[in-house]
Amino acid sequence: MRFVLAMLGLLITSPAAVLAQGDVVLPSVDFAATDVQESGAVLIRQTIHYTPGLLRIDRGAGFSSTILDLTTWTQTLLMVNHSYLVLPMDDGLFRRFFARPSAITGAVKVGTERVGSQQATKYAFGDDGALAAAGFYWLADSGILVRREYDDGVFGANTHHREYLTDLRFTEQPADLFRVPAGYRLAK
């Protein structure tokens, strides 16, 4: 009986149970880009690929790749030792790449700006659920979250975060990018 209750609790609190695909603004185009994350003195660059409902994040040689499936709310971790895991979607991870509709979050439109090669609408957002931070995000007409800046108070220290896309390329993405590669085994 405890097992059944624990599983029910997991289902109720998982992002898949809380969010549906309509609760996230999904891009209307296939694309690839370089994702840049600046958090204090830390700078991370990774390549992303998007096709409807699927996002692949490649962290570079020697690091894992992650495939987010926004239809099942799962993430597949492809590890360098040729094993993989399928897990519930990490709430913080999808928020880096996808905006939630302003009607749900209360984000307020504050204008339009050009971000790289894209015309984007700038929104101000407050604390959004588990994300205890407030700031701005820029959403292109195609639904691509091209930039996000916010401050949060992690461990009592205020940290400025800046995330943005560069080298945005609009091209059909190969279906193989969003599948577990041949030869990988499920980790146990």
* Single-letter amino acid code for the residue at 170: F
Domains in the chain with CATH codes? 15-180 (2.50.20.10)
Whole-angstrom CA distances from 144 to 102, 111, 114, 130, 131 are: 15, 16, 13, 22, 20
Could you report the per-residue pLDDT of 120-175, keeping only the tens digit for each?
A: 999 998 865 555 678 899 999 999 999 999 887 666 677 888 999 999 999 999 99
- What is the pLDDT at residue 16? 39
How is residue 99 annotated by DSSP? B
* Single-letter amino acid code for the residue at 53: G
pTM for this structure?
0.82
Tens-of-pLDDT digits for all 188 residues of the chain? 333 333 333 433 344 334 455 688 999 999 999 999 998 889 999 999 999 999 999 998 778 999 999 999 999 999 999 999 999 998 778 888 999 888 888 899 999 999 988 999 999 988 655 556 788 999 999 999 999 998 876 666 778 889 999 999 999 999 999 999 999 999 98
- The three-state secondary structure class of 83 is strand
How is residue 26 annotated by DSSP? -
Q: Give the integer Cα–Cα distance in Å for 20 and 70.
A: 9
Inter-residue contact 159 to 42 (CB < 8 Å): no
Q: Give the integer Cα–Cα distance in Å for 150 and 3.
A: 39
